[in-house]
Structure 1
Amino acid sequence: MPTGDVLPLLIALFGLVAVGQLLRLTGAVPTSAPDVLARVILQVTMPALIVVILADARFEPALVPAVLACTVALFSACALGVVLMRLRGASRPAQGAAGVTAAFANTAFLGVPFVLAVFPGSRGAATAAVIIDTVDTTILLLTFGVAFAGAMARPRAPVHSPRVPRLLRAGGSLLRQPMIVAVLVGLALAVAGIALPAALARPLAQVGQTTAVLAFLTIGLGLDLRSLRGQTVPLAGIAAIKLLVAPAIACLVLLLLDVRGDVARTAVLQAAMPTAVVSAIIATDAGCDAQLAAAASVVTTLLSLATLPLVLTCLQAIGL
């Protein structure tokens, strides 16, 4: 999609964010609305969208390098977030919040709908967006992200339960996530070469197509601008890492591997997405700096309106 066509798309999508914020500020909806809509997205619309995409998936050779590039960018951003706050003399909980929020991107709520809009009809891009979200923002966040946030938070009472049962419980919990189930079902259909019956594919597609509107509306409803107070310098650093450095690292990895095309561009765009809201929740729950984590989610989401067109322009300029 030409860059000139992207700006109207972004304005439309972030217009929904503005509507959500207006509804929040005017009290037109209950305070529980963001949580309710988020559950609808995570448990209904996104799983439906994932099954439809993966059942008709196109697994291009570039998919593995694309996932690798995003993963390298993720771990690099996490390390840079910690270093940033350490150089400022911040506490370990603040370092943990910076690491988690700089690393994990909003590849589901924002990334998948955005990629589908930028690359309409590209099965390779759609497949890559979902797989990257599954690996980096679901599996790695719920494993490495949780462990990292806990390690960086204030000391807690030691856990005496055996490691193997804890790992089995964690694995079982992961497999009960509707989006993971949807990924497994979609991949099974694709590998087996079984097409979704039209009677099932059409309603699933219609439900899945509501994801973008609901997701951007939910982001607006959940934005708390008060969390930005007194955090200017660290937030600027985290935003630079998340929105500019991470996609640059992903792009560099793909260029070194000589991987180009829609799948490669999808990987860079997913790395360029703002902080995943759930990563801020995980950081807070672990005992990291809650105010910094929430503020990072807000400021990166707002700034992505400017940085995503910039990233797209750069991708076109270098011919990735």
Structure 2
Amino acid sequence: MVDVWSLALIALGFPLGATRFRKYSKHLSIFLVYIDAPILGFWAGVELKAQLHSVLAPSLALLVAFIPIVLFRDDCPKRGAFAITSAFGNTIFLGIPATLALGGSVDSALVYAMVTTFIHYTLAAIISCKEGKARIQPFTVTFLLGLLLSTSNISLESIEWTKRIGAELSKLGLLLLGLNFNREVVRLSKDVMLIGLLKHVALPLLTLPIFLMSKDLTLLIESSMPPAFMNIALAMVYGYDVTLTTQAVITLTVLWIFPFAILSVLFHK
């Protein structure tokens, strides 16, 4: 969600990116992917209350991700960067405000975000370019553990503080935008245009039949979000093309802002 803390971290990342602090991007990414994300994954599993359509819709991201996996099967860094940026959007930081602005359901958006993140992190680990890296993502394990515990009578009140801390620490990922920023990353290259076509056209079109059956506008809103900021951290951890990933995240987010602003005004007339 957008708050003062989040905006401050985005702003702070740009001056830090021009200093020696830039070299700590990799360390921050490892922390976010292997320590903070599993905490969030656990609570996502515990709190998941899903209807069939809200699980099926985010699963369509796998079909979109499969396209670059096949196209670039001989170029692992490019394949990974394409797969995660073309299929997995910013479902929380941008997705929730967009859902509120366009009249969708926040509850449905949260379910979409939980399921999408589970698929996102699991796939990122499976197609890792790092030799010898485990193909099991900690987020996957903790999410499934959370689902299991959600069906039991075990009280988790004593550790609920970890959910709040995990949510706040996850915002550190916003630093990565500034730390990895340079003038070259805001560029509408052919690769970024193809990623945009997959993310903003192919995925919403695949989602359209489920929307027509469920009448849940949130599914279309969330499926059209620009690439998630955490894609940058995943690219660093799993050896994907970080430059391409950063280009796609920043460029498509900037381009997304304009149509979103217009739609927000139209929906509130």
Amino acid at match of 2:81: T
Residue 140, structure 1, aligned to residue 123, structure 2: yes
For structure 2, the residue ranges without an aligned partner over 5 or more in a row are none
Q: Partners in 1 of 2:264 and 2:116 — Cα distance?
A: 18
Whether the aligned pair in 1 keeps the contact of 2:89 and 2:222 (CA below 8 Å) is no
C-alpha distance in 2, partners of 1:72/1:241? Answer: 14
Relative distance call for 1:313 and 1:187 in structure 2 (3 A) is farther
The runs of 5 or more residues in structure 1 that have no matched partner are 1-5, 84-91, 151-165
Structure 1 segment 1-320 matched on structure 2, within 5 A: 9=2, 13=6, 16-25=9-18, 27=19, 30-76=21-67, 78=68, 82=71, 93=75, 97=78, 99-105=79-85, 110-116=90-96, 122-135=106-119, 137-143=120-126, 145-146=127-128, 173-175=134-136, 177-192=137-152, 194-196=154-156, 198-201=157-160, 203-226=161-184, 233-255=189-211, 258-261=213-216, 264-265=219-220, 267-269=222-224, 272-274=226-228, 276-277=231-232, 280-281=235-236, 285=239, 290=241, 294-307=243-256, 310=259
Matches of 2:246 and 2:252, distance apart in 1 = 10
Assess, with a 3 A threshold, how the Cα gap between structure 1 residues 265 and 49 changes in structure 2: closer, same or farther.
farther
Does the aligned pair in 2 maintain the 1:51–1:182 contact within 8 Å? yes
Change (3 A) 1:115 1:72: same
Shift in alpha-carbon separation, 1:253–1:69, aligned structure 2, 3 A: farther
Residues 15, 308 of structure 1: alpha-carbon distance in 2 compared, 3 angstrom cutoff: farther
**1:279 shift after superposition:** 6.1
Counterpart residue number, 1:161: none
State how many pairs are aligned: 261
- Could you tell me how far apart the structure 2 residues matched to 1:314 and 1:248 are? 16
Residues 1:193 and 1:311: Cα distance change in structure 2 (over 3 Å): farther
Identity %: 13
Output the CA distance in 2 between the equivalents of 1:311 and 1:59: 27
In the TM superposition, residue 130 of structure 1 has moved relative to its aligned partner by 2.0
- 1:232 to 1:46, Cα distance in 2 relative to 1, 3 A: closer
- Structure 1, residues 225-256: CA drift from partner, whole Å, max 9, x if none? 4467xx75424423432442244334334346
In structure 2, do the counterparts of structure 1 residues 41 and 132 end up closer, same or farther at CA, with 3 Å as the change threshold?
A: same
Mapped contact 1:109–1:216 kept (Cα < 8 A): no
- The whole-number CA distance in structure 1 between the counterparts of 2:5 and 2:31 is 22
Q: CA RMSD in A?
A: 4.3
CA distance in 2, matches of 1:252, 1:182: 31
Following the alignment from structure 2 to structure 1, what is the Cα–Cα distance between the partners of residues 162 and 89? Answer: 17
